[in-house]
Amino acid sequence: MSKELAQSARKRFGQNFLIDGRVIDAILASVNASPTDVVVEIGPGHGAITEGLYASGCDLTLIELDRDLIPGLLARYVTKAPERCRLINQDVLKVDFTQLTAPLRVVGNLPYNISTPLLFQLLELGQNIRDIHVMLQKEVVNRIAANPGESAYGRLGVMIQATARVEPLIDVPPESFAPAPKVDSGVIRIIPDADKRARIQSMDMLKTVVRQAFSQRRKTLRNNLKELINSEEFAHLEINPQDRPERLSVETYVHLANYVSQREGGL
Ligand code: SAM
């Protein structure tokens, strides 16, 4: 079976199908879906995770790009329980999630090439998303969950942690998939946090400040942020301009962006 899956996999769709029952069970246990949940699975593939989600009795929307996988998914889930299962044959990045019933629980073993833009798109939906459980490259999980001072800490971690709580859950080796990817993977839980979001005055300004701050990791904040913050302002904000960007906490980045945004008259 795993040989057949590996042979049928399409590289351009990022297809690495889960074949490890323990990993599948661990993902399902982490999600712990119930009949009252509204779940969206991104990239169900041959249904490795779908099967357990379907069995939970939840309301289930499947979003799958590969046309060849549609008949199987329709037969196994949608036609059996059309009142609570539906399938969208589309690129997930083009799906309008606001048309789905909120709050959504999002689950997916994601094609790695779309994982970052997709997470940002989902987090823009704020409280319409209850939680997200996704399989990502381990390196991306590490970056999302990194703490200040760690080498993996950067733009991705700051931007996601600024609006959500994150929790790495499971490490997944290449052998758990057919075909085996070249890299390790991991499952992470991301929970949008309304209080964190409310503290950010301008998302655009936070993006600008964080992008500028990390534009050259080896340089100081003074250098990277010279177009946004002067020496007196660093002193006023009690930020050491000689620090490197990875020293600042997520809260400090939010504080910094709010300051600039207020100074500019609120964006
Ligand atoms: N969930 C299955 C599993 O765990 O075995 C398949 C995971 S495989 C890594 C990724 C799945 O996402 C594939 O079924 C692929 O066809 C689908 N996919 C790829 N790009 C997509 C996109 N832009 N939108 C929706 N689905 C996509």
Q: What is the CATH number of the domain that holds 220?
A: 1.10.8.100
> Looking at the 3D structure of the chain, how many domains does it have?
2
Pocket test for ligand 1, best of 24, 39, 109, 113 (most atoms within 8 A of CB): 109
Same-domain status, 32 and 92: yes
**pTM for the model:** 0.95
Band of pLDDT at residue 267, cut at 50, 70 and 90: very low
CATH number for the domain spanning 79: value is 3.40.50.150
Nearest to 122 by CA among 192, 58, 60: 192
pLDDT of the residue at 1: 62
Question: Which of 158, 173, 194 is the C-terminal boundary of a domain?
Answer: 194
Same-domain status, 157 and 207: no
Q: What is the pLDDT of residues 86-112, one digit of tens each?
A: 999 999 999 999 999 989 999 999 888
pLDDT at 184 over 80: yes
Same-domain status, 38 and 125: yes
Enter the tokens of residue 228: 């946004």
Structural domain boundaries, residue 46 = 2-194
Question: Which of 154, 171, 194 is the C-terminal boundary of a domain?
Answer: 194
Same-domain status, 90 and 213: no
Same-domain status, 68 and 163: yes
Share of the chain above pLDDT 70, in %: 99
Alpha carbon nearest to ligand 1 atom 21, residue = 65
| Ligand 1 residue neighbourhood (C-beta within 6 Å) | 13-18, 42-45, 48-49, 63-66, 69, 91-93, 109, 111, 114
Band of pLDDT at residue 10, cut at 50, 70 and 90: confident
Same-domain status, 74 and 100: yes
Long-range Cβ contact pairs of 140-145 (< 8 A, separation 24 or more): 140/112, 140/115, 140/116, 141/168, 141/185, 141/186, 141/187, 141/188, 142/168, 142/186, 144/119, 144/188, 144/190, 145/188
Same-domain status, 216 and 88: no
